[in-house]
Structure 1
Amino acid sequence: MTADVLTQLQIEYNKLAVQFFSTFSYLNQRHPLVAPPEIPGLRFTSQQLAPSGPGPEDTDWPTRVLAEFVLRPTDENTFKEAQQELANDLIFKTKQIQQLIARLPGIDHDEQQQAEEVQQLAAQVQEIEKARQAKRKEMRQLVKKLDAVIAAFLLEKGGVCDEDQGGRSTTG
């Protein structure tokens, strides 16, 4: 069970990482364009700067790579709603992860309690193994008895008992 929980936990952490990346990408690309406030003492103001395209160092990039980073702003209300929904999704995913962590064994036990529990489980395994060996021995004895009964029955009915086959009888 612990392995299942750990696997689920890893899957959920991977999903959370994807959600973080997707949320960051959405917020980065879809935020409403707002001019920054004027800061006194700056050499250039937003009115003095003309919008520009990619610089000369960006001209060798494939168009598809540049298209991934293009800003596609949405209106402010849509952005705020999406921002709230993305935040709720992240909170929900972290709560799922917290529930999985709570299901892990030993989360509320100290090391000594966990060691005692391991010893108890080891003792249970030994008891079960002894019981299994006893049942296996009993099964072998019952098989021998059954072979003897079948051999006696076949001898009584005129069959041939072949001792080379472990006492099991065959008809001739």
Structure 2
Amino acid sequence: MGDRLTQLQDAVDQLAQQFVACIHYINRHHNLETLGPGDQIRDVKQDPDQQEVDPHPTNVFKASQVELAQDLITKEQQIELLISMLPGLDNSEQDQERNIKELEEELRIAEAQRQEAIKEREDTMAKLDTVIRSIRRP
């Protein structure tokens, strides 16, 4: 998995795709009803296989709307969580600089330990080489 910004961008992209899918579903499966007294339903002659609207029963359509809304809310909460995890939202510039300095110090200590381990490995290999060369066959 990528860094937090990449995860955030992916989540926002997924949310946009979910919005498009929701709009498509609602546009494709709504009931043909008028919203006001001046509204009219167009009577478009088409092939029955290529209907523009395929109304679902009201209870199925409402349940699907609820499920789509819950999915959107879940994705939005994931985005909020990712945003809250980003560094710097609650930290001042001085806090961030202090954190960077602490991390640099930890890195220096880890590098010193690594160098010490390399030296110890080389010493051990030299001793082992000496022992192996001193062994004679009986």
TM superposition score category, shorter chain reference: 0.7 to 0.9
Structure 1: distance between partners of 2:35 and 2:6: 46
Q: Deviations over 1:96-120 (max 9, x none)?
A: 2222322334432122211211111
- Structure 2 length normalisation: TM-score? 0.77
- Structure 1 length normalisation: TM-score? 0.64
Instruction: State the partner residue of 2:17.
Output: 18
Instruction: State the partner residue of 2:129.
Output: 147
Structure 1 runs, 4 residues or longer, greater than 6 Å off: none
Q: Secondary structure of 1:74's partner?
A: coil
Structure 2: distance between partners of 1:13 and 1:133: 43
Match of 1:111 among 71, 88, 93: 93
- Are 1:90 and 2:72 matched, yes or no? yes
Match of 1:129 among 103, 107, 111: 111
- More relative contact order in 1 or in 2 (CA 8 Å, sep 6+)? 2
Structure 1: distance between partners of 2:33 and 2:105: 69
Match of 2:63 among 73, 81, 93: 81
Q: CA deviation at 1:25?
A: 0.5
Instruction: State the partner residue of 1:8.
Output: 7
Greater helix share, structure number:
2
Structure 1: distance between partners of 2:126 and 2:35: 92
Question: How many residue pairs were aligned?
Answer: 137
Structure 2: distance between partners of 1:128 and 1:106: 25
**Coordinate RMSD, CA, aligned:** 2.9
Q: CA deviation at 1:4?
A: 4.1
